[in-house]
Amino acid sequence: MTSETSGTPAAAPDHAIDPFLWLEEVEGERALAWVRERNAHAEAALTGTRRFASTKASVLEVLDSADKIPAVGKAGDHLYNVWVDADHERGLWRRTSLESYRTDRPEWELLLDVDALNEAEGEDWVWHGAQLLRTGPLAFTRAIVDLSHGGSDADVSREFDLTTKQFIAPEDGGFYRAEAKGGLSWIDGDTVFVQSAADGEPTSSGYPRRARRVRRGQSLEQAEIVYEGETTDLYISAHHDRTPGFERDWVSRALTFYTSELHLLLPDGGLELLDVPASAEAGVHRSWLLVELRDDWEVGGATHAGGSLVAIEFEAFRAGSRAFTTLFAPTPSTALVGATWTRHHLVLNVLEDVKNRLEVLTPPESVDGGEPRDWARRPFTAAPALGTVGVAGVDRDGEGDLADALWMTSTDYLTPSTLSLVRLDEHGAETAVEPLKSAPAFFDADGLVAEQHFATSQDGTRVPYFVVRREDLALDGTAPTLLYGYGGFEISLTPGYSGGLGRAWLSRGGVYVVANIRGGGEYGPSWHQAALKANRHRAYEDFAAVARDLVTRGLTSPQHLGVQGGSNGGLLTGNMLTQYPELFGAVVVQVPLLDMQRYHLLLAGASWVAEYGDPEDPAEWEALRTFSPYHLFDSERSYPPVLFTTSTKDDRVHPGHARKLAARMLEAGKDVTSYENIEGGHGGSATNTQAAHMAALAYTFLWTRLTGGGPGDAGHPGGPATAS
């Protein structure tokens, strides 16, 4: 396989000849000429209308709003934020104090202006994050900044001096990682861990195969290799736990997307493998080892169910004890979706029928003889009863009054986000809840309601979904309705406020629906595993069941029902297009997987074999071909209008997927619109302006097709263009 941005990966053995293989040449001259032609067609069809212009402007106003909540993270005495608006498209990295943040107009200290950096260096950098050094004499004066060309996953790491507010060049001793997929992280002021896909042969998924310990002044080639994996592995990485009194070095070996090994890196360079299931996620905080299970585990004379969270003292575990304490066990209606530490407490975030419920656990001071003892438990009462709630520790390694504090965000489909600071006492009870920031309302929610329903899938499974609509909506099947879903990788879809969606869709009378189909994580690992590989059809049957239930309830009808999804959700909507075309009036397919015969040969595709299956295995290909939209397309069948969008800079899901199915459908004379953003990576856009443009394309396309158009709306795009 290749992960380069040009050239075509070799065809897999015995695969049928693909007449559109040339469209996989990401930056091939012929392929880009085709992209430019399709982009011009899409722009002509959709952008020259009043609806497009107003939609783009209203979405951009939301994205560029000065009244958004500045998301922050605490390091030392400062709160750090990256801010993007109309004047700073690539972002400002800045910081302030908590005292100043509490005010309506915080005083921000500018650290890095990415737009100015691009102008000075003649680059197209997109911010990818920063990691501050937190220990030693240089603590909080140095950072590692990650920057990406155009938003691709591949990025560079550069050391930044927060005192001079300048990068430290490699020739001056600064740490630097050349452009590649990977990462660089602090061990101490003069040592880092580095993993890079450019360090020798990468894994078959295009990720790092080696982790090195690099000392200041060393080149990557000179540095010690602390671990080297196999090319068949997914990702190798190393990191340093800086918790005072519990500093440890770790090596993570991801075998597949859902299996991994965690090794303790010993002072002599040896490795100690943690004896936990490969399918579990393990982590050590201070004296405690936590293991989150995907599958049932028989250990220490007990059986722990998949989806459980169990704990044990780490040193007791190393000494041979397997007397785990169960901190969470799933039920048919509940799943653990998060666990965050403060200095003395662990906060669990549980979904119950896709609604958040939080609980604070306090570990015992010690465990006598390695035997389990109960953790103290109390409900977290600061969270609102409805909506989506997330919490994160503010300063869990600190010793001050924020060591047991939490950032709490809350939102729902009709309520803008609120950020609060919640303090816990020694028993885990909330002693103070301080609202810090509230996002503005970007649309009028009066008269709108959000409700949850359940559809019955083909095999009898109850599938939850959310509906946002006008309370007085006439149930006559005429409402333009947008159905969204994902259904993969154990990712849960929970209610959240979107000013752009509210303005572009809900305020115009549209209905918005989110389906919580199998393949996601709404009911834990079993909900995800129910739609893996040969069982993928269940996700699509669930989604089709929701579509039919909307019609049965009178909310909409097929000609007024549109569907939208991206990435794995693009595979979902690609299957709605090819397997259930009669259910929809328009389909939007964004940064999708579509050719499931070659996906494992393209960019990061090999990393998802555990999710979808291996096309090289004849038995697994027989299952894969049943949900490969590129192969399910039938030129003799009727299909609803479709919009494909992707990005040339997407180095995760290859843009060839969208290009090839669009070309195949155009050749057959189908109603196809295709648009490829040059920048953006897998997110599809690198700036707010680009994001608003992409959103306006989708909303304009959907509204026009689901309502039949009208004055100021876009006309139908017309016939096929050359795709040879």
Q: What is the pLDDT of residues 700-714, one digit of tens each?
A: 999 999 998 643 343
CA–CA gap between residue 579 and residue 110 (Å, rounded): 52
Residue 129 pLDDT exceeds 50 = yes
CATH architecture of 445-689: 3-Layer(aba) Sandwich (3.40)
Q: Could you tell me how many residues make up the chain? A: 724
Tokens coding 654: 């290859």
3-state class (DSSP) for residue 226 = strand
Residue 372 confidence class, pLDDT cut points 50, 70, 90: low
Query: How much is the pLDDT for 709?
Result: 61
Is 567 one of the catalytic residues?
yes
CA dihedral 47, 50, 52, 55 (to 10 degrees): 160
Mean pLDDT of the chain: 93
Residues 358-363, mean pLDDT to the nearest whole number: 97
Residues 338-360, mean pLDDT to the nearest whole number: 97
Nearest to 285 by CA among 339, 243, 338, 337: 243
Q: What is the pLDDT of residues 28-42, one digit of tens each?
A: 999 999 999 999 999
Is 155:128 a contact under the CB 8 Å cutoff? Answer: yes
Query: How much is the pLDDT for 374?
Result: 87
Residues 195-222, mean pLDDT to the nearest whole number: 97
Q: What is the pLDDT of residues 298-308, one digit of tens each?
A: 999 999 999 99
69-83, 310-324, 591-605, 670-684: least confident range: 670-684
Query: How much is the pLDDT for 11?
Result: 45
Angle between helices 688-707 and 50-63 (to 10 degrees): 140
Query: How much is the pLDDT for 711?
Result: 32
| Candidates 149, 263, 345, 682; catalytic one | 682
Residue 320 pLDDT exceeds 80 = yes
Is 657 one of the catalytic residues?
no
CA dihedral 249, 255, 257, 259 (to 10 degrees): -80
pTM: 0.92
Q: Where are the domains of the chain?
A: 77-133+135-241+247-265, 322-440, 445-689
Residue 182 confidence class, pLDDT cut points 50, 70, 90: very high
Residues 411-418, mean pLDDT to the nearest whole number: 96
Residues 6+ apart with CB under 8 A from 361: 327, 345, 346, 347, 348, 375, 376, 377, 428
Residue 8 pLDDT exceeds 80 = no
| Candidates 567, 628, 647, 674; catalytic one | 567
68-72, 215-219, 322-326, 712-716: least confident range: 712-716
CATH architecture of 77-133+135-241+247-265: 7 Propeller (2.130)
CA–CA gap between residue 723 and residue 488 (Å, rounded): 32
Residues 150-170, mean pLDDT to the nearest whole number: 97
Query: How much is the pLDDT for 495?
Result: 96
Residue 209 pLDDT exceeds 70 = yes
